[in-house]
A and B are shown apart, each in its own frame.
Chain A
Amino acid sequence: MVTKKFVIKRLAVCVSTIFIVIVLNFMLFRVMPANPVDILLSPDVGQLSASIRMEVREEMIKSLGLDKPLWMQFVRYLGDVFKGNFGESFRTHRKVLSMISERVANTIVLMLSANILSILMAIGLGVVAAWKRGTKTDITSLIFALIFTSMPMFWVGGIIILVFAVRLDLFPMFGTTTVGLEHSNMFAYLSDYLRHLFLPMITMTLVSFGGLLLIVRSALLDVFSEDYILTARAIGLKDRTIIFKNALNNAMLPLITIIAINLGFMIGGSLLTETVFSWPGLGLTIYEAVMYRDYPVLQGTFLIITIIVVIANFLAEIVYGYADPRVRSGA
């Protein structure tokens, strides 16, 4: 059992991190060079006369609470965040939260599928590499892993589009479903969605499995040098039994932490991949917000993404705590 103290301690760290992230997010968008009111005003009220402009401006400053002292603005912001009120998009004038919530599922599907695929690849190749340590197989897989992790993810996506969507015309190149297509039933919709998912998923997997492979391999090498594995080999257990029954179980521990740490990287990756494939998730939302300088959307999406990552890290630590008895007593 994980002790209560361990969970509470981790939870406190998690909550304080989220609080600091909220403060940071508030401060960042206060120090930006342009005043938010001016940005809001420029496109819509450009034609109005100067005096009306001033009036609208003052009105706006009041309604946004920008005339209050900074700490009162922060208290207000904090309240809004807890109510899920992230303001309105400058561009579409829709609520930021509803824009995020209709797109978050696409990001989760993309990240989860790519993550699972790259973990499977990393474990499969990592086991072979570690078991055949120092051979050609090992070195080839290591070099391939390093080459793929050195590639810019958006560029890999571009090449995959060029080859598989433009030249070979095997897969669609953007979106989640075919534009204008009426799906006759759930199954038709699903298969269309999966066909669209395939290329972005492969892109993310190719670039991210390498890093995981290196970790699986080195974790396994650590385990292989333990006495009980040597014993298992000595008493004549089959390689396969040793790897899957003994070694892999123990090598999973570092993998859990790495996947959690990797989450930030995967978020960055999905951001780039979504932009390349116009996959309507949180990453594309951030890209569009940057393009149109839509600060409320940028601020809200950044906060949500960061909080998700912090919570995922917290959960990983708890899982790690359950799996590894040393952590429980040590913390």
Chain B
Amino acid sequence: MSMERLNLYTKRLKGFINQYKESKLGIIGLIILSIFIFISVFANYLSDYSIKATEGDLSAQFEPPSYKHWLGTDDVGRDLFTQIMYGGRISLLIGFLAAAISGGFGTLVGLFAGYFGGWREDILMRITDIVLVIPGLPLMIVLSALLGSSFWNIIFVISIIGWTGTARVVRAQVLSLKERPFIESTRVIGAGDLRIIGLHLLPNVFPLIVAQMVLRIGSAILAEASLSFLGLGDPMSVSWGMILHWAFTTGALFSNYWWFLLPPGICITLVVLGFTFVGYALDQIVNPRIRRR
């Protein structure tokens, strides 16, 4: 990379950071997410309790919050605060992976549809429309019931319906980009389709894709929570949704065990809100279709 290019990139990055700093919501979102990511990553250093169902303290079932157990205990006497820290790992990981996979796939569809046009675009966009109209949660439920619940199946099921938004946004952007002179001129020099797509279109739509993906992480986390609540989660990887599933199935609701029910939901809400704030802040900067308001 030449020095000139490097300078250009650092200059752009600085401009971006300055713009981002202006968004209060973006900063709040970033703070919320940093806290949750820190806690999830270092969960095993932050707590001495085990999350294994067999290692709970059976003499301390359904205990309300205390100094010993900050958020109380569950039906087999496990420390709920510890479970929530580990649960964050799974929820965030599923959110990140599902958003990355669906974002990647949506980007491919959008790039090819927008660049090639014609019948290829027609077919791809018709498929997008059909996936868009099929109600998401019922389809995810049917797929996970048929495929069985595992960590990767859940990610697959969430990704398979989540790519349509990105595909549309990317396609729209590519349609306007490919008319620009710099794309024309690269074509005239004799650059191949793949080279134009990979080297010239992709870098230009990339910021937009990142903003889309960040927004997707939140909905992926919500989708995972819903599936887990319905009993379609992976019991081997405990997410916040799975903790809530246990809270509902062990009757925490009717026995007034609020410490079992409230915290996982608050965590989900805050994290989804964090991604929404950051996503909007990014979108405001990178999406040319959004006017500032």
- List residues of chain A with CB under 8 Å of any chain B CB: 13, 17, 20-21, 28-29, 31-33, 133, 146-147, 149-156, 158-159, 161-162, 166-167, 173, 218, 221, 261, 263-265, 267-268, 271-272, 275-276, 286-287, 290-291, 293, 298-299, 302, 305-306, 309-310, 313
Chain B: residues with Cβ within 8 Å of the partner, total of 45
Name A28's contact: one of B137, B143, B248 (CB within 8 Å): B143
Q: Report the minimal beta-carbon distance from A129 to chain B, rounded to whole angstroms.
A: 11
What's the A-B contact tally at a CB cutoff of 8 Å?
132
A146/B135 in contact, CB under 8 A: no
B231/A290 in contact, CB under 8 A: yes
- List CB contacts (< 8 Å) of B241-291 with chain A: 241, 244, 247-248, 253-254, 256, 258, 261-262, 264-265, 268-270, 272-273, 276-277
Q: What are 29 contact pairs spanning A and B, CB under 8 A?
A: A21-B130, A28-B142, A32-B146, A33-B146, A147-B273, A150-B222, A152-B268, A154-B244, A155-B229, A155-B261, A156-B265, A159-B261, A166-B256, A167-B256, A261-B132, A264-B135, A264-B136, A271-B138, A272-B137, A272-B230, A275-B229, A275-B230, A276-B248, A290-B141, A290-B230, A302-B142, A305-B135, A306-B135, A309-B134
The answer for the CA separation of A156 and B256 in the assembled complex, in Å, is: 15
B133/A310 in contact, CB under 8 A: yes
The answer for the CA separation of A2 and B258 in the assembled complex, in Å, is: 55
Name A158's contact: one of B129, B143, B232, B253 (CB within 8 Å): B253
B226 at interface, CB cutoff 8 A: yes
A133/B293 in contact, CB under 8 A: yes
A155/B265 in contact, CB under 8 A: yes
The answer for the CA separation of A267 and B258 in the assembled complex, in Å, is: 28
Known: A155-B265, A272-B137. A150 touches B146 (CB 8 A): no
In the complex formed, the residue of A with least CB distance to B224 is A152
The answer for the CA separation of A286 and B262 in the assembled complex, in Å, is: 26
A152/B269 in contact, CB under 8 A: yes
Chain B 124-166 against A: per-residue CB contact (8 Å), 1 yes, 0 no?
0000011011111111011101111000000000000000000
The answer for the CA separation of A13 and B269 in the assembled complex, in Å, is: 38
Name B148's contact: one of A33, A298, A305 (CB within 8 Å): A33
